[in-house]
A and B are shown apart, each in its own frame.
Chain A
Amino acid sequence: MAKAICFKCGADKSGALLACRGCGATPRSNSEFAVSLSLSEHLSSPDTLARYSNDLRNGRQLSVPRETLLQALEALKDPQLLSMLGAEQPAASKLGKPAAPSVSIAVRDSAVLTQTGALLESVGIETLGNSFTGLLPKGSKLPCTVAQVFSTAEDGQDQLKIHLCVGDEAHRRVSYSLGKFQISGISPMPKGKPSIAVQFTADLNGISLKVSDNHATSILAIADISPVTSTRQSTDERVGVSRTAPPPIPSKPVARFSRTALHQSPFALLGATIRDDRRRIVELAEEKSLELDHDVCQKARSDLTNPRTRLNVEISWLPGVSPRKAMQLLDGLLHDPMAIRGESGLPTLAHLNVLAAAFESVDGDHDADDLAEFIQEMAYLVEDLSPDDVLSDINADRSVSGFPEVKSVDQIEAELNERKRCYRNTIKEALDRLPSAKLVQVMTETVDGSTIGGEDHAPGLIDDLVDSYEVETQGPLQSGAENIRKLIQAARHAAPSGDMAVRTYVDKILAAARSWDRIAQPIQLSAKARGIEHEASSSLGWAIRSLAIDLFNTHDMLDQSQRLTSLLKELFSEIPEISERVDQDADALDEIATDRSQRAERLNAIFEKFKDFGLTETTFAWKNRTYSIDSICHITFFRSVTTHKTNFVETGKTEKAILTLALDGGQNLNMSIDEQGMFWNKDLSKQIQSLAEFYGFLLHVTFDRRLQFYEDQIEERGYWVYDECYFYPGQKVVFRGKEFPVRDSSFLRSYGCIEMRKKDFGVLDKLKREVSLTKVPQFSTLTDTDVIFHLLKEHMGLSWGNS
C-alpha cells in the first residue's frame, strides 16, 4: 500500500483512497478522490507529503499543483476504479463511522492441509500451558471461517501473539506449529478492554488470518514472527483444553539491543564453539530444545552440521578466535558494544563480524563524527579481508572440529561477497535509524573523510553505501530540484519587474539549493572521487548558472547574478566543469562590479560638485523644478564681464552668465546669473563659474543627442540649418540666398560667431559691411557650440587652431 496523507486531518495512512484510521474520513466525491490521490506517494514525493501533512495539521490551506490534480482526475476516468469507489466503502463508513481497521496474513505452507477440500487436521491456537484450543475442526468443508475475539492481559499492552497450531482437540495437544503471529499496534487501554477480532479462514489456498479492531481505534499490523513454520513437532504433553480461548501470552517489551546477529548465530543459540564436533552439536541441540523452540534448535543443528550451510555460518561467526575469547566478545557486545572497537589482534573477518554486531547498537543519539569514523574503520577493514587468511582460519578450526576442510578459496570468496553485503546492510540499517539530518551529516563526513574531499578513491563498502544513499535520496533530490527549477522560472518571470521582485526568489533559490546540496554532498564527493559526474547536481548547477547569466545579460542585475554565482562556487565545487566556468563568471562579474563601483565614485564626485543643480544620473533641478537631462535639445551659453569706470577709475564690474537650454516640447529654460556689484563679488563669481562648469558637464553628457539632431537633417535633406544658414556638407553655406562655397570662401572666427567672406572680398564689400547696408554674413556659435564646430570640421573641413 502506498503511503498517503488523510485529506481531512493530515494523518499518515495506507492507501490513497482508503479510510483514515485517525479521523475516519473517507474520500467520497470526485474532488476528494483527486485530492486523496494527489496526497499519496503515487503522485507526491515524501517531502511534499510531509509538507501537506503539516499544512493540514496546522489548518493551513492545502496547495496541490494543478498538474498533479490533473493526473489524478485523469486516473479517475477509469470505469473500473469508479465502480470500485462506488461500491468500496464498507457499511460502517457509509454510516459515517470509522471503518474497523483490519489486516490479513496468509499462513505459509498451509495449503497442504486444505488440498482435499476439507481440513485434514484440526487447526487452532496454543493457549497458556502449551495446550491446544481448536478453532477449525478436522474435516471442516472448505471454505470455512471462524472468528475469535481476543483481549489483553496487561494494562497498556499493545501487542498480542498468536501461536497457530495443528493439534489434537480430544487431548488438547499441540501436534505441530503452523506459525507464530504478532498483532501489533493495539491502542493502549486497561487490560481486557481492547477487542481484537481474529478471523481464521481455510480455503483451497490454505489458511489465513484476518485481524480487526472492534473499537476501530488501533492501527493494527500482523506479522509472522516464527523463524520456522510448518515443521512437525511431536509432543507427548497432554493438558486440559479451554473452549473459551483464553488470552494469548502477552509479549513483554524487549530492549532493542538485547541480541545481535552474532547472538543469533547457530553457534551462539546452541552454545556451541566453532571447534565442537558433529556429535557435540547434536547433543547441544537436544539440550537446548528443552528451553528454546525445538524447531529453532533443530535448524541451528542442521545449519552447523550440514556441509552446505556450515561455511556460511562459520563466515558469519568468529573464525580464528578461541571459544573463550568468542564468549567474552559476545558478552562485551551486550554490555558495552562500542568498547569492542578497541579490540585488537582479532583476525580481520572476526573483527569485522564483531564490529558489525556493535553497529546494531547504533541509535539516533550516536555522535555523527564518531559514526563516520566507525564506518570508515569497517570499510578499510573490509578492504583488508583476505580469502586466503579466512580459508586458513576456518580450516584450522575444522581440523579440530573434524569437519572436512574447505578445499577451494572460491567458496570462501563467494561467501565473503555475501558477507560484505551483510556489512553494508547492517550499516545502512543503522543509518536508517538516525534522524535524517544526522544521516546526511554522517554520510557526508564518511565520504569526505574517506575520499579526502573527493580527491581519492573510497573503499568499496563506502561506494556501495553511497550508491544505496543515492537511490534512497533520489526522490527528495528530484523533488527538491524540481522546486528549485520552479523558483528559477519564477525569478525569470519576475525579472522585468525589477531587482526587488527577483531578490525574493533568489533568496529562496539560495536556501533551497543549500538544503538540496546538503543531501547531495556525499554523492557529489563520491562522484568526484570516482571521476564521474553526478548528473542531477550538474543539471541543477547549469540551470542556476543560466539564471545568473540571464539576470545580468538581459536585466543588468549584477548583484543577484553575483549572489547566484557565489552560491554555485560554494555548492558545486565538486563538479569540475561547473566549477571552472563559474570561476570565470565570478571573475567577469567582479570586474564589472569594480568598474561600476569606480564609475559610481566618479559620478558621486560630479553629483557633489553640482549639488547646487540637484544633479542625479538622469536629472537636474533649477529653482525647485526638476528637468530630465535627456530632454535637452540645444544648449546656448553666454558669459560676459563689463567693467564700469568713472573718470578712468574702476568702480565695479557686472558679470553675467546665461545658460539657455532648449527642451523637448519647445520649452526654454534660462539659467541666468546676473547681478551688478560695486566691487568684485567673489561668491557671485563662484556661482557663475559653477554655472559655466555645469554648462561644460551638460555639453559632455548631451553631445551625442544634440549632434544626432543635425546629422538627421543631413540624412533627410542633404544639409543642416543653423542660425539662418544652410550648410551643405563639403560644398557651401547659403546665407539669405547668398552662397559661400567652401573652396572659395573664408570663414573668420570671432567671439561667438563666424563670419563668411568670399575669397575675392573687395573694397566694395568692405564698405557695404562697414555701413551696414546688408547684414554681415555670419552665424552665431553660442548655441550647441561644441556640436557646430564638430560638424564644421567633419562635414565642411573647417577648423581653427584653438577649437
Chain B
Amino acid sequence: MGFLSSLFGGNKEEKALQEALRQVHRLIDDEKYQLELVHPAIREQIESAPAYDKDPKGTGPFGFTENNPVPVNGPIGQLAYFSKLERLSGQRILFHRLGAMDTVDVFEAVTFDGSEWFILFADLYHPRRSRLTPEGFRFTGEVGQFSGFTNFCGDFPYDFIEKKAAMRDSGLSMAYIAISKVADQIQKRAFARPLAHKAKLELVKSRLSSFQGQ
C-alpha cells in the first residue's frame, strides 16, 4: 500500500480520489463534457453554431473587442478558456464577468501578481473553444484550473476566496486553483487598477446590455 493509500485509508478512498481528479480534468479539458453540463436546449443552440477559432467576420484585435470575441463552448468552456490563458511572462489571470453586450460576454482580468489588467470579450455560443489566444497571451503549460468566474464579483479580485467557496454547490469548486496561489497578493491588497483600465471599465460598463449587481 502506497503512501497515498495509507493517507486516505485504503484502496477505496484512493479510487475516490482518483475519480475526483479525473472529474477535475474533464471539467478543465474535455470540451464535450463541458458541453454536456449545459442544458440540452442551449446545447442544441451551441452545437448548431459554427465551430471556429475566430469569427471570420470579426474586426479589431482578437479577444479585445466585442467585434472580435473569443469563440468558446458555453459557460464552462468560458471558464476553461480564460483559465488556460497566461501572459508571455508566465503570469496567469484571475477574471470575472462584467456583463454582456448583446451575446458577447465581457470579462475583466488581472494577472496573478496584479501587474496587468485586461478587458476581454468572449462569445459562448460555439461548440468548441478557440485555439487562438489574444495578443500577448499564450496557453499555460500548467493544468488550467479555473481561476475566475462567469458572474460578476463586486470586489474583484479580493473576493476570489468567497466566490470560490460559493461555487461549492455547483460542484465546480474542486476544479479551481488553490487559494494559496493568490492569497498572498490578496492579503497584501496588491491589485490596483491602473487609470487606463478604470477608464476602459467605465466605457464598457456604460455599454453593457446586461450585468449583475453593479
A and B are partners in one complex rather than unrelated chains: yes
**Measuring CB to CB, which residues of chain A are less than 8 angstroms from any residue of chain B?**
1-2, 14-18, 37, 42-43, 71-72, 74-81, 83-85, 87-88, 104, 106, 108, 115-118, 141-143, 199, 201, 203-206, 208, 210
Across-interface contacts of B119 in A (CB, < 8 A): 80
What are 24 A-B contacts defined by CB distance under 8 Å?
A: A1-B202, A16-B199, A18-B202, A42-B198, A71-B195, A76-B196, A80-B65, A80-B200, A84-B200, A84-B203, A85-B203, A87-B65, A115-B39, A116-B39, A116-B40, A116-B41, A117-B39, A117-B40, A143-B102, A206-B212, A208-B209, A208-B210, A208-B212, A210-B210
Contact A80 B195 (CB under 8 A): no
A16, A142, A205: which contacts B212 (Cβ < 8 A)?
Answer: A205
A2, A77, A106: which contacts B202 (Cβ < 8 A)?
Answer: A2
B175 at the interface (CB under 8 A from A): no
CB of A312 to closest CB in B, whole Å: 22
Contact A1 B205 (CB under 8 A): yes
Contact B208 A81 (CB under 8 A): no
Shortest beta-carbon contacts, A-B, top 9: A117-B41, A78-B196, A117-B42, A75-B196, A208-B210, A75-B195, A15-B202, A106-B212, A116-B39
Contact A104 B211 (CB under 8 A): yes
**In the assembly, what is the distance between CA of A677 and CA of B180, in Å?**
113
B89 at the interface (CB under 8 A from A): no
**In the assembly, what is the distance between CA of A71 and CA of B45, in Å?**
47
Contact B211 A106 (CB under 8 A): yes
On chain B, the number of residues with a Cβ less than 8 Å from chain A's Cβ atoms is 38
19 new A-B pairs (CB below 8 Å) besides A116-B42, A117-B44?
A2-B202, A15-B202, A37-B195, A72-B195, A75-B199, A80-B61, A80-B200, A81-B203, A83-B61, A83-B65, A84-B203, A84-B204, A88-B203, A106-B210, A106-B212, A117-B41, A199-B209, A206-B210, A208-B210
B64 at the interface (CB under 8 A from A): yes
B100 at the interface (CB under 8 A from A): yes
Interface string of B18-58 (1 = CB under 8 A from A): 00000000000000000000011110110000000000000
Which residue of chain A has the shortest Cβ distance to B198 in the bound complex?
A42
Across-interface contacts of A42 in B (CB, < 8 A): 195, 198-199
**A80 with B39: in contact, given A1-B202, A143-B102 (CB under 8 Å)?**
no
CB of B159 to closest CB in A, whole Å: 17
Across-interface contacts of A1 in B (CB, < 8 A): 202, 205-206
Contact B39 A83 (CB under 8 A): no
**In the assembly, what is the distance between CA of A84 and CA of B199, in Å?**
10
Across-interface contacts of B206 in A (CB, < 8 A): 1, 15, 18
Contact A210 B209 (CB under 8 A): yes
Across-interface contacts of B118 in A (CB, < 8 A): 80
Which residue of chain A has the shortest Cβ distance to B66 in the bound complex?
A87
Contact B39 A37 (CB under 8 A): no
B194 at the interface (CB under 8 A from A): yes
Q: Which of B64, B196, B199, B202 has the most CB of A within 10 A?
A: B199
**A81 with B213: in contact, given A2-B202, A18-B202, A204-B42 (CB under 8 Å)?**
no
B75 at the interface (CB under 8 A from A): yes
Contact B199 A81 (CB under 8 A): yes
**A117 with B195: in contact, given A104-B209, A205-B210 (CB under 8 Å)?**
no
**In the assembly, what is the distance between CA of A115 and CA of B64, in Å?**
28
Which residue of chain A has the shortest Cβ distance to B42 in the bound complex?
A117
Which residue of chain B has the shortest Cβ distance to A72 in the bound complex?
B195
CB of A664 to closest CB in B, whole Å: 63
A76, A116, A208: which contacts B211 (Cβ < 8 A)?
Answer: A208
Which residue of chain B has the shortest Cβ distance to A99 in the bound complex?
B206
Across-interface contacts of B200 in A (CB, < 8 A): 78, 80-81, 84
**In the assembly, what is the distance between CA of A332 and CA of B74, in Å?**
58
Across-interface contacts of A43 in B (CB, < 8 A): 195
Which residue of chain B has the shortest Cβ distance to A85 in the bound complex?
B203
CB of A37 to closest CB in B, whole Å: 6
B5 at the interface (CB under 8 A from A): no
B131 at the interface (CB under 8 A from A): no
Across-interface contacts of A74 in B (CB, < 8 A): 195
Q: Which residues of B, 65-122, contact A by the 8 Å Cβ criterion?
A: 65, 67, 75, 100, 102-103, 118-119
**In the assembly, what is the distance between CA of A87 and CA of B211, in Å?**
21
B60 at the interface (CB under 8 A from A): yes
Which residue of chain A has the shortest Cβ distance to B124 in the bound complex?
A204
Contact A143 B199 (CB under 8 A): no
Across-interface contacts of A79 in B (CB, < 8 A): 61
Which residue of chain A has the shortest Cβ distance to B43 in the bound complex?
A117
A37, A199, A210: which contacts B199 (Cβ < 8 A)?
Answer: A37
CB of B12 to closest CB in A, whole Å: 35
Across-interface contacts of A104 in B (CB, < 8 A): 208-211
Contact B61 A201 (CB under 8 A): no
Across-interface contacts of B42 in A (CB, < 8 A): 116-117, 142, 204
Q: Which of B64, B102, B197, B202 has the most CB of A within 10 A?
A: B202
Which residue of chain A has the shortest Cβ distance to B97 in the bound complex?
A205
Across-interface contacts of B44 in A (CB, < 8 A): 117
